[in-house]
């Protein structure tokens, strides 16, 4: 993260693998079992078809139909698709309580906080409905609501407009290098998230509360 003397006005946090933990091994295994596809077939198709889903162009049924087509297999029955959608959402439901607590500490310190996530409609609805702490953030921007995904400039602009902060005064924390690069290109500062200790070290001397 480039060092600048001025204090940050806002911290923008990704959801998957930042505020939430990675998909657990058992959740990965369940998706493979439900789909009947080995991991080397399922996961390239899962990620390869994810952008239209995150953009809100297709719903869960359309997403899994696209995965089936890419994997070269017949579509799953509707009941199986419903299980796959639910299992996929559940796989992203494991929040990191320490990162959530840090977001709260930032807010109490007067720093605006925002959630900025590439998320499909079913996952966005789950996050809004399940987690009370989300309502405490100053902004909540989901790709499916905008029809735009990171690293496209429009999604960063929409997030910043929602919290009333200039790009130069905001920091994006994201686990994907392409999203961090997109944020920097849009004028934000960026940090590629790997671990909380690495984040704390990067923020040392910034005047912000540090994650535990």
Instruction: Supply the pLDDT for residue 41.
Output: 98
How confident is the model over 93-108, as a mean pLDDT? 97
Instruction: Supply the pLDDT for residue 5.
Output: 38
Per-residue pLDDT tens over the stretch 38-54: 999 999 999 999 999 99
User: Please, which pLDDT band fits residue 13 given cuts at 50, 70 and 90?
Assistant: very high
Structural domain contains residue 58: yes
Do residues 81 and 175 share a domain? no
Is pLDDT of 6 > 90? Answer: no
pTM of the model: 0.94
Number of domains in the chain: 2
Do residues 55 and 125 share a domain? no
Q: Cα–chain-centroid distance for residue 111?
A: 20
Do residues 103 and 185 share a domain? yes
Q: Is pLDDT larger for residue 140 or for residue 1?
A: 140
> Domain containing 154 — which CATH number?
3.40.50.1000
Residue 131's domain spans which residues? 10-22+94-203
Do residues 120 and 163 share a domain? yes
Structural domain contains residue 211: no
Do residues 178 and 132 share a domain? yes
How confident is the model over 98-108, as a mean pLDDT? 97
Last residue of a domain, one of 74, 91, 108: 91
Instruction: Supply the pLDDT for residue 212.
Output: 85
Per-residue pLDDT tens over the stretch 143-201: 999 999 999 999 999 999 999 999 999 999 999 999 999 999 999 999 999 999 999 99
Instruction: Supply the pLDDT for residue 146.
Output: 97
Task: Please state, rounded to an integer, the average pLDDT across all residues of the chain.
Answer: 96
Is pLDDT of 2 > 90? Answer: no
User: Please, which pLDDT band fits residue 35 given cuts at 50, 70 and 90?
Assistant: very high
Last residue of a domain, one of 64, 91, 118: 91
């Amino acid at each position: 993260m480039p060092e600048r003397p001025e204090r940050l006005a806002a911290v923008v946090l990704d959801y998957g693998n930042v505020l939430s933990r990675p998909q657990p091994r058992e959740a990965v295994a369940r998706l493979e079992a439900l789909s009947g596809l080995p991991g080397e077939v399922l996961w390239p198709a899962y990620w390869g078809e994810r952008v239209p889903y995150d953009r809100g162009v297709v719903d869960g049924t359309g997403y899994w139909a696209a995965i089936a087509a890419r994997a070269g297999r017949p579509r799953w029955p509707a009941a199986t698709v419903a299980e796959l959608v639910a299992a996929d959402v559940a796989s992203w439901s494991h929040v990191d309580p320490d990162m959530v607590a840090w977001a709260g500490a930032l807010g109490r310190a007067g720093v605006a906080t925002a959630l900025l996530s590439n998320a499909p409609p079913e996952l966005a609805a789950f996050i809004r409905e399940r987690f009370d702490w989300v309502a405490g953030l100053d902004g909540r921007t989901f790709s499916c609501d905008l029809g735009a995904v990171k690293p496209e400039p429009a999604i960063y602009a929409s997030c910043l407009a929602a919290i009333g902060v200039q790009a130069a005064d905001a920091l994006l924390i994201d686990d994907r290098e392409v999203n961090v690069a997109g944020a920097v290109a849009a004028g934000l500062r960026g940090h590629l998230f790997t671990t909380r200790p690495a984040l704390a070290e990067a923020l040392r001397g910034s005047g912000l509360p540090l994650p535990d």
